[in-house]
Amino acid sequence: MEEKEIQALVLKEFDDEVNLRPLNGFKLDFSANPGFKKIFFSASCDCGTAALLSLEISENKTDDEIVDALPSLVERIEMQEKSFRRMDCSMHSMMRTGSIPDNVS
């Protein structure tokens, strides 16, 4: 099963409140895990911060194994999105700039 097909399956299973945008053709390999299919999504906030969220699936998995794992994959990406959305915009700002203000301990 190709990345685009997996992405479509994941999108169909999202809860109604999930607001993730699929990133098609995104080929960055940030992973130290070669041999994995990478499926990318974007979450954004009104403050202008966007998060890159991804799922990795071994290229050795069969289509049936991927379908069987779908509930777990969907749950994982939904949890990542919820974590991003729970952060306030000051935390998003720190993510964008890569710095922590002096008054935060």
Q: CB under 8 Å, gap of 24 or more: what pairs does 53-59 form?
A: 53/20, 53/77, 53/80, 53/81, 53/84, 54/30, 55/6, 55/10, 56/31, 57/6, 59/35
Instruction: Assess if residue 105 is contained within a domain.
Output: no
Count of the separate structural domains present in the chain: 1
Instruction: Assess if residue 103 is contained within a domain.
Output: no
Of 1, 95, 97, 104, the closest CA to residue 43 belongs to 95
Please tell me the pTM assigned to this model: 0.78
Range(s) of the domain holding residue 40: 3-97
Q: What is the pLDDT of residues 13-72, one digit of tens each?
A: 998 888 899 887 666 655 566 788 888 999 998 888 888 898 999 999 999 999 999 999
